A and B are shown apart, each in its own frame.
Chain A
């Protein structure tokens, strides 16, 4: 028997304003539950490990990571690299969310294994639209849970 749980959205973003905008618009899209924000890559990795993800144990919850690139300490690219290198976290979907639209950086993120890449456009409507669609998309993403481990 397969049951589904709502996904937890993990946002790694150093800019409070951006984080606030993302959260508001996700809420407007109906994703109210399970939103968590961290301020940089280090915090994100710490959060994942505190929730039980380690090299020996896979995370039980359904999580989607929204990742900004330009962050202090450990930046988005480095965090992505580490998440995808860890056999217990590499299945977690990662959505890059950044102001950079440099094609080389986008290619790099896909090479490293990001699932979706969304630019934060200065054109707010486009940004809102992107977030809303993301919210709708995440609503239907339900991670199937196996009965056994």
Chain B
């Protein structure tokens, strides 16, 4: 999969970063969650604490109210007892005492009033108590002034009316009721306090539990959002190292996603490189094998050329020796003739001169002429061979029968002379140059006729065979078979080499025909070879490519119906 590896433009990058959930943001979220919870928890805790303090305050407050109430009652009782003591003793000490107590009493009522300002019903009760207390005080003041004006009896009588006692009893009742109310309140507030304590304990325990839970959640989130993703990326890098296929890119917008995307593109690049490497490797191997083959062909060709040059130089030298030798012989004969002519032309001298001219000179001239003919023949053969390598072929579908008939017609004299019987079997057309084909068959048939065994009637057969040929697909293979002299095994490899003549004395020639045949056949992309038994005959076989497209001579478009 090709991925776009272009780096985004800076502006786009910035915009992207702004909307992204980066690792930093994830980390902050993971940290913020417990922190937020803890802040809320501490707030709750503070609130609880505050409520508890409040409850405690109110509990203490109630206790103070009760105490003050008790004190008030005590002061009232003390006042009454002091009044009695004063009436009895008229001692001014008690008068002072009573004044003090009165002051204290009023102060206590004020205190109490201040304490219970929040409670309307208790306030009403306290008002009632205060009024009663004032009545009591008035009653007492009356008694005191009577005592002072020495009307003690009146005071005693007043007391005997039990008005003071009634007042006192009512006061006691009221105070008791007030106190009971306050104590009820106290009990309620204590209960609230206790409940608050229990609630706080549970809050702390629950808070801790929730705290742990939030911690675990944060850890889980970290593991899922960061740790797990990094592990996935690490596993992907290992897959790259092992050359395995990668799963799809991790989703999300963080740096880990970017990293994984980078690894994916790296893996793609790597796979692309591997593929290219494989392609290059294969190309290289193919080229190397082509090169090896070309090298082998080249060294084969070089060897052939060396052999060729060797043969040519050897064969050129041979007639040169004759040219040199017999021209010297002519020179020698000339000297001898000069000597003879210098003396008297006696009969004997005449005979010697005649012999010299008839034998030595004639022989020398014959050999010189032969050598020149041979040299010229060799040079012509070389030219023919060279032309066979250069000539431009015009291949087409060639019918062989007319060509073979033409060759046989041209050789009719020789064939009749050798009393050869020639059979031409069915021959399929071949994709080749017509002139080249004629050259090939003329050489092969000519050889077959020339090297027949004179001791038996010659038989030559021209036909086709189906054979497997190396490196060729279903070739068209033709053969020329004779019952002639045959070729010794030792000479089979040399048959197609230049200037090799096995039956030198039988037929004149330059030893270039089969070399020429091989060259022409090979230029057609075909093969030529020989099977032979010495003394029994030879079969020369020529294989041509079956189809025009297999032929190296692809200059002309292949016609219909071939192959």
A40 engages B504 (CB within 8 Å): yes
Interface status of B94 (Cβ within 8 A of chain A): no
Per-residue CB proximity of B317-330 to A under 8 Å, as 1/0? Answer: 11111101111110
Q: Taking A73-B488, A78-B490 as contacts, is the C-beta distance between A40 and B324 under 8 angstroms?
A: no
From known contacts A20-B363, A70-B314, infer whether A124 and B503 are also in contact, taking CB-CB under 8 Å.
Answer: no
Within 8 A of B (CB), among A30-57: 39-40
Docked-complex contact A40 and B326, CB < 8 angstroms: no
8 A Cβ contacts from B362-377 to A: 363, 367, 370-371
**Chain A residues in 8 Å Cβ range of B314:** 70, 99-100
Smallest distance from the beta carbon of A25 to chain B beta carbons, Å? 9
> Could you say which of A14, A99, A102 contacts B321, with CB atoms under 8 Å apart?
A99
CB distance from A77 to the nearest CB of B (A): 11
Contact across chains for A124 and B502 when beta carbons are under 8 A apart: no
| B342 → chain A closest CB, angstroms | 21
Closest to A71 in B: B504
Quote the shortest CB–CB distance from A55 to chain B (angstroms): 21
8 Å CB interface, B450-509 against A: 488, 490, 501-505
Q: Contacting B325 at CB < 8 Å: which of A21, A70, A72, A100?
A: A21
Please state if A122 and B324 are interface contacts (CB–CB under 8 Å): yes
Residue of A nearest to B331 (CB): A124
B326: nearest chain-A partner, CB-CB: A17
A69 closest partner in B (C-beta): B314
- Chain B residue nearest to A125 (CB atoms) is B328
Q: Which residues of B contact A14 (CB under 8 A)?
A: 504-505
Q: Closest chain A residue to B320 by CB distance?
A: A122
Interface size on B, residues (CB 8 A): 25
Interface residues in A61-92 (C-beta closer than 8 Å to B): 70-74, 78
Q: Are A99 and B317 in contact (CB under 8 A)?
A: yes
Given known A17-B326, A17-B370, A20-B363, contact A127–B321 (CB-CB < 8 A): yes
Question: Considering only CB atoms, which chain A residue lies closest to B363 in the complex?
Answer: A20
Given B322, B327, B488, B490, which contacts A18 in the complex, CB threshold below 8 Å?
A: B322
A16 within 8 A of B: yes
Residue in B321, B502, B504 whose CB lies within 8 Å of A17: B321
B310 located at the interface, meaning its Cβ lies under 8 Å from any Cβ of chain A in the complex: yes
Question: A78 vs B502: C-alpha distance in the bound complex, in angstroms?
Answer: 14
Contact pick for A123, options B324, B327, B488, B504, CB 8 Å: B324
A 1-22 contacts with B by CB, 8 A: 14-18, 20-21
Partner of B317, one of A21, A39, A72, A122: A122
Residues of A within 8 A of B502 (CB): 72-73
A21 to B504, CA, bound (A): 20
User: Knowing A17-B371, A122-B317 touch, does A72 contact B501 (C-beta < 8 A)?
Assistant: yes
User: Chain B nearest CB: distance from A78 CB in Å?
Assistant: 7
Task: Contact check, A17 vs B501: say whether CB atoms are below 8 A apart.
Answer: no
- Indicate if the CB atoms of A124 and B325 lie closer than 8 Å: yes
What is the distance, in angstroms, from A82's C-beta to the closest C-beta of chain B?
12
Docked pose: A98 CA to B328 CA in angstroms: 19
Q: A17-B371, A120-B317 are in contact. List 8 more A-B contacts (CB 8 A).
A: A14-B504, A15-B318, A17-B319, A17-B322, A18-B321, A21-B325, A102-B310, A120-B321
Top 5 A-B pairs, shortest CB-CB distance: A72-B504, A17-B322, A124-B324, A17-B367, A21-B325
Q: Enumerate 26 A-B pairs (CB-CB under 8 Å) in ascending A order.
A: A14-B504, A15-B318, A16-B367, A16-B370, A17-B319, A17-B321, A17-B325, A17-B326, A17-B371, A18-B322, A21-B322, A21-B329, A24-B329, A40-B505, A70-B318, A72-B502, A73-B488, A99-B314, A99-B317, A99-B318, A100-B314, A120-B317, A122-B317, A124-B325, A124-B327, A128-B328
